[in-house]
Amino acid sequence: MMTNFIQKYVSLNDKNWFKTGGKAQFFVEPKTTKEFSQAILFAKANALPIFVLGKGANILISDEGFSGLVIHPQLKQIEFNSETNELTAGAGVTISDLINCCLDNNLSGLEEFSGIPGTVGGSVYINIHYYQFLLSDFLTSATIICKDTGITQMVSNSWFEFGYDRSKLHEGTYSLVSATFKLKPISELETAYARGRQTEIIRHREKRYPRERTCGSFFRNFLKEEYAQAQKGTQVPYVAYYLDKVGIKGSLRVGNAVVSYLHANMLVTEPEATSNDVITLARQMQERVFTEFGILPQPECELIGFKEYPLL
């Protein structure tokens, strides 16, 4: 088995949006399904845990790095089926490139996710959303790869058991190789309108949210059984509501990590920040909400490489 494309001790702090974190013990960027499978078999042969990295937009990597194999898929093929109005995109395709390919072929739907950073692999993993739109609304089928065997298989939408911010991929046994999306054919005029909507969505997002050195929303919204326990009669699901109430936006800081002045649920790093800065800041946010309202925010951001769970 050829594994000379696998690297050792590769820095990860330039491969995620927070710009923090240590090194990967092993690192690989497979360009084909065969290389993806070979990387998995290498990890199995050496008893290494695997982490599959997309654009790093929704993760925080430990300052100690990741003891195992980080797979950064570079499968960037896009295939268009004009008969079915479907696009099949590799896990390494960015959502931005996928949307532009759709509009180039007069297909509508995915422009609702304009401005969301990430790859197809990471976006399917977390089932990205924008207002009422979910990526799972458009996915018809996919190719997945087993992290134990390196064997691929085709699955339908139902296999993923999609939910809010989740999919079956969270269980960790499989990773995405490619996904197929069913879209709506539109006229040239409607495409021009869709491109205008794309521009407006991006403008809106850039005005409301920080554009770099963040993971987006750090904490997920509360489940019904959680916010039902909130004190002081403020029983709403939106975690940002509670974070706003405790008065931390743009002011609460630990080291070189600070709560964004644009959004109380977004943490932003500055140069020289560490992941420990972010963790300590997030813990203080948890403490303030719990003290004030009796409920504890839980992360939406995925925590990678931490030997013990670092939050409350």
172-182: pLDDT as tens digits: 999 999 999 99
Residue pair 249/260 in contact by the 8 Å Cβ criterion: yes
Domain limit, last residue, from 175, 208, 241: 208
Q: How confident is the model at residue 2, as a pLDDT?
A: 56
Same domain, 190 and 94: yes
Q: How many domains does the chain have?
A: 2
Q: Is residue 88 part of a domain?
A: yes
Neighbouring-strand partners of residue 81: 86
pLDDT band at residue 294 under the 50/70/90 scheme: very high
Is 218's pLDDT higher than 80?
Answer: yes
Amino acid at residue number 237: P
Domain range for 228 is 224-304
CATH code: domain of residue 175? 3.30.465.10
pLDDT of residue 1: 55
Same domain, 204 and 250: no
**For the chain, how big is the Rg over CA atoms in Å?**
20
Which pLDDT tens digit goes with each residue over 3-18? 678 999 999 999 999 9
Domain boundary, last residue among 179, 208, 237: 208
Q: What are phi and psi of 93, to 5 degrees?
A: -70, 135
> Do 188 and 242 belong together in one domain?
no
280 dihedral zone (left: phi>0; alpha: psi -120 to 50; beta)? alpha
Looking at the fold, whether 194 and 88 belong to one and the same domain comes out as yes
CA dihedral 109, 111, 113, 116 (to 10 degrees): 150
184 and 258: one domain? no
Helical (H) or strand (E) element with 278: helix 275-293
Does pLDDT of 165 surpass 90? no
DSSP state of 168: G
Length of the chain: 312
Residue 232: predicted pLDDT: 80
Query: What are residue 302's DSSP bridge partners?
Result: 59
In a domain, 311, yes or no: no
Q: Residue 60: name the closest of 301, 229, 261, 283 by CA.
A: 301
Is the confidence at residue 222, as pLDDT, over 80? yes
Q: What are phi and psi of 311, to 5 degrees?
A: -105, 180
pTM to 2 decimal places:
0.94
**Whole-number mean pLDDT of the chain?**
96
Q: What is the per-residue pLDDT across 45-78, written as a single tens digit (0 to 9) for each?
A: 999 999 999 999 999 999 999 999 999 999 999 9
Asked whether residue 4 is assigned to any structural domain, the reply reads no
Residues 124 and 229 in one domain: no
Q: List, in sequence order, every residue forming a beta bridge with 107; answer none if it has no partner.
A: 185
Q: Among residues of the chain, what percentage have pLDDT more than 90?
A: 93
